[in-house]
Structure formats: C-alpha cells, structure tokens
Chain A
Amino acid sequence: MDKLLVILRNLDAEADFENCVTLIDGGILDSFDIISIIAAIDEEFGITVPAEEIIPENFNSAKALYEMIQRLDEE
C-alpha cells in the first residue's frame, strides 16, 4: 500500500490520497495520471492493468486501487 501511495504522491504532491474517494469523479486524476499510475503499477508490482479495469470504481481512491491490484495479482 505504501508503494502505491508513493506512486500517487509523485503525480500530485498536494492531494490527500489517504482519504479522498473522488480521485476520478473529482477530477484530481486525469487520463495522463491514470496511464502513469498503470505504468508505475507495471513497474513496481509487475501487474498489467487491462483496459476494462480503467473505471472510476477502481481509481476513485487509493484503497480501491490497492484492491484492484490485489485482485489482478491473484488472477
């Protein structure tokens, strides 16, 4: 989880990634950020995020992202 937070903070130092649940809906992350996150996930966790996972439910909060990563890891 910490690794994930580091990735996120690299994109936007100010946002409160620990608590915010509207990262996509609130416009804090845009499509550039999403791709950067996916690239970083690939690099740090060795996990490929398929396109159908790129939905607000998975990216709206750090927690949701983490759950997605764990789920993809198992598959």
Chain B
Amino acid sequence: MVFTTYEFLILLVVAAVLYYTLPRSFQWKLLLAASAVFYAYSGLDNLIYLAVTIISVYLATRRMDDLLAEQARGLAADIPGENAKAYRAAIKRRRRRLMVLCLVLNLGILVVIKYTAFAVQGADAVFHVLAKPEDLGFFRFALPLGLSFYTFQSVSYVIDSYRAKKAGYVERNPFKLALFISFFPQMVQGPISRFGDLKQTLFERHAADADAISAGALRVFFGFFKKLVIADRLMPVIRALTAPGDEFAGAYVLLTALVYAVTLYCDFTGGIDVTIGTARIFGVKLAENFDRPFYSKSVAEYWRRWHITMGTWFRDYIFYPLSASKPMIRLIKPARRLLGDHIGKRLPVYIATMVTWFATGLWHGAAWNFIVWGVLNGAVILISQELTPLYGKFRSKLRLGDGKVYGAFEIFRTFWLMSLIRVFDVYADVPRTLRMFGTIFTDFGAGKLIANGIAPLGLSLADIVLAAVSLAAMIIAGAVSRSKPGSFNSVTFRVSLCAVLALAVIVFGKYGLGYDARQFIYNQF
C-alpha cells in the first residue's frame, strides 16, 4: 500500500477506531492484522518473503536465547567446573553459528532479489554471459515492499540478540515478533528501529489520549502536505531539467541540485512524518529519522541528522564491528611503520569508513550511480576530517568574531556539498552526471538561466509561487515550534490545523487527473 491513497487513510481510520474501542489486550494484535492487510495489499506473494524472514529470525533468536539460559544454568550448577571459559566459548560458537545462518539466509534473500540483475549486468560487460540484452530481464526480480528496510531491521535484531549477555532479551511470542518486523507504518521507508527501543511502546497497552492522537494526526497531515503539495509539485521540474538529451547549462545543474534537495527533503521527511504520526496515533513512539539536516555544519554531521536510523545502523553493525575488529586493530602497528604515524593509526577508520559507505551506496540501489554516490560521501567525510585543522587556521585568520558568520558559511558549504553529491541520484548514469558537473565550469550560462525564466522548469508560475509559499510556511512553522516549544500543544489548535492542512492538500495536492481545459473542447458528439 502507498501512503498517499484513499485505501491507506481508510485503513488508518478503521484501525484507529478499532484500536481504541476493542479491549486493550487486542491492541498489538490489531496492529499485526493491520500490518498484514497493508502488506498483502501490495501482493500476496510478497508475504512469503516476509514470512520466511519472520520464521527464520524467530527460530534462530529463540534458540540463541535458550542457549544463554542453558549456559546460565550450567554455570550456576558449576557443571563445567574449571573450564568455565571453554564452556562459555562453546556456547558462544553455537550461538554464533545460528546468527550467521540466519543472517546469511535473510541477507541472501535481499542480495539475490535486489542485486542479481546488477551482478549479471556487470558480468556481461566483462564476460558477455548474456545471449541477448533482453535476457537481463530474466534476472530482475520484483522487490517485495520494504525488503531493504525490514531485512535490516531484522538483522539488527538478530545481531542484538546474539550480543545479549543474559537470557530474556529475545521476543518469544512469534506474533509479537512478527509485528516488530512488519509494523506497517515502517514498511515503506523506515525508520529502522531497534528492538530494545520499540519493545515496550509497541506491545504495551495504550489508553486513548487526545494529546497523542491529535499530535499524531497533525503529523500525518503535515506529511501529506509536504509530499503532495510541495514534493510532488516540484518533481516535474527535476524530470524536465534532467530529461535525457536536454543538455542544460551549468547554472541549471546547480538549480537541479537545489530543487532536488528541497524535493527529496519534503518527500522523504513527509513520508516519515506520516510514518511517525501514524504510529503516534496508536500510541507507539518511533525514533526520529531527521533533525534539521540542512543546518549541518559538516558532511559528517549531516549524516547524523539525515536518515538517522540508517546511519546508526551502518555505524553499529558495519562501521564499529569492522573498525574495532582484531584484524583491523592489529593493522595499525605495521601501517604506522609503512605509512607514517598520522595515517597509520587512522587506517582502520579509513578502511571501515569507505567500506561502510560503499555498502550504504549499494543498499540504496543496484546501480553504479548509487555506489559512486556512497563512495563519494565516504571520501568527502574523510577529506573534511583531514582538512579540519586547515579550516581552523582559515577561520582564525579571518577573525570573524562570534562564530555566527562562520557557522553560516559552514552550513552553506555543507548544504551545497551535499546537494551536489546527491545529484548522482538524479541523472540517469555516472558519465552523464560527471558531464553535467563539467558544464558548471565550461558553460555556466547564468545569462541563459535568467533569459529563459521559468519556461524550462515545466511548471506554471502559480505552481512555483505556491511551492515557494508552502516551503516558507513549512520553514516558519518549524522555526516557531522550535523557538517556542509548546506552541503546537493545544489539542484544539492541532485539530484546527489538521482541518486547514486537509483542505490545503485537497485543493493544492498533486493527485488525481489534472484539469485540462483543452480536454473539454467538445468537437463532434
């Protein structure tokens, strides 16, 4: 199911009404039923993959938990005696085997479904394995909804279960586990939740609370507003400016980067608002996924504020395990001898950073432009890190006083850096993106930008004004809610604002068939 549809709204309303009218012991079960409906809507065959993941994760983690309990009993009864260490190591090995098997299965599903075609394409480029180009289609599998998200969420749960020190961490009720993995608001684009964070809020009983429901509803409407009124309105501009064949001047590349930054922000955070708002209506608190990312002063900081749960996932399950692993640590000594002190002791972090970002890029999609995008992010983060002392000198030379001006410069710099990196998402392929970057230097064409006006954008002036006004309203609302926390707290105010946003979405949202006066030129019948 897609969020911006009548079906989703109906599901939400029906589920919410039942949630608060049925006995509270049914609440999490109702959420599971709603999740099943939500997921089944996009195709019953998708449920099979989800079921395989849920079952395998359940069995593996329960067994890991049992082994921990067994270990505790064994140690208490002093069964291994002198050899407690070996005993523990043996249990650990068995638990590790379960974890690895479960991860291989689930990540394997993800890899096969998502990356087979890409791999075959690569193999074909070198070894010509395909009889004809169309054969590649055979290797393209339809992605089950949310595969990347729920697989990663399950992986984090399996690894956390392995890392648990005592029995009792794991969820022993298979249906509760199923709900954790398939909780419908998260299925589309995250956030990727940790079991420890979600456990209580998801399964506990919730009393109907006007405060939570109104806050959740407002967030949902706000998300719809951002997506339907702003993001979907600006999408055609991106399409127009990046259409194959139309090679625009460099100034347009910057414009594309800017518009894409805004569009992606509104689309992604809008969807997350619907997600978090929906969960809130049910009294479930999900982790925030965005924290004013465009105010970041460095690319590293940006990634702590944009798609936060993805960043923490890669940090906790790839970056740290890799960089703190024994082989990496042992690498430092010889590296210091060979490459000098400075680089040597940073080597594990460098390697882990690039690997993590390669993986991050790959996770976004099975295409070279995503990989380049990921690697670019990693490289920029490392380079920025190395340049920090230089920037420090630059800043002290300028002697700009209280830091607000320099801070603004850092924000501006980071915004444009990220916007340009993000452009790899938007042009069809890597060579084209590089060419378009080139035109920034070879053919900037600021004059053309002004002369052409809004025509190349593919939007009417009214649409552009509306988008600008809506953006301004969004930014102001954000500033107000931050400077005066509590200004959006009254339930009456929230409900009224919901009504206003609903009307705004109904009138200004980009949905349904467009009205085209020419269609109505009745000519014959």
Contact = CB atoms under 8 A, between A and B. Distances in A.
Q: In their complex, do chains A and B touch, with some C-beta pair under 8 Å?
A: yes
Interface of A: 31-32, 34-36, 38-39, 42-43, 48-52, 54, 75
30 contacts: A31-B315, A31-B323, A31-B349, A32-B346, A34-B320, A34-B324, A35-B323, A35-B324, A35-B348, A35-B349, A35-B352, A36-B345, A38-B324, A39-B329, A39-B332, A39-B345, A39-B348, A42-B326, A48-B326, A48-B329, A50-B324, A51-B316, A51-B317, A51-B320, A51-B325, A52-B160, A52-B163, A54-B316, A54-B320, A54-B324
Interface in B312-332: 315-317, 319-321, 323-326, 329-330, 332
Specify which of A42, A52, A54 lies most central, judged by the most chain B CB atoms within 10 Å of its CB. Answer: A52
B385 interface: yes
Interface of B: 88, 160, 163, 315-317, 319-321, 323-326, 329-330, 332-333, 345-346, 348-349, 352, 385
Contacts, number: 44
A75 B84 CA distance: 10
B316 to A, nearest CB: 7
A31 B346 contact: no
Contact of A51 (B324, B333, B346): B324
A50 B164 CA distance: 12
A16 B258 CA distance: 42
B308 to A, nearest CB: 15
Contacts of B323: 31, 35
Given A32-B349, A38-B324, A50-B163, 18 more contacts: A31-B315, A32-B346, A34-B324, A35-B348, A35-B349, A38-B329, A39-B345, A43-B333, A48-B326, A48-B329, A50-B324, A51-B317, A51-B320, A51-B321, A52-B160, A54-B316, A54-B324, A75-B88
A31 to B, nearest CB: 6
Nearest to B159: A52
Nearest to B382: A32
A34 B346 CA distance: 11
B479 to A, nearest CB: 24
Contact of B319 (A31, A39, A48): A31
Specify which of B163, B330, B332 lies most central, judged by the most chain A CB atoms within 10 Å of its CB. Answer: B332
A49 B324 contact: yes
Nearest to B85: A75
A45 to B, nearest CB: 12
B385 A32 contact: yes
A50 B160 CA distance: 13
Contacts of A43: 333
Contacts of B352: 35
Contacts of A48: 326, 329
A39 B331 CA distance: 10
Contacts of A42: 326, 329-330
A54 to B, nearest CB: 5
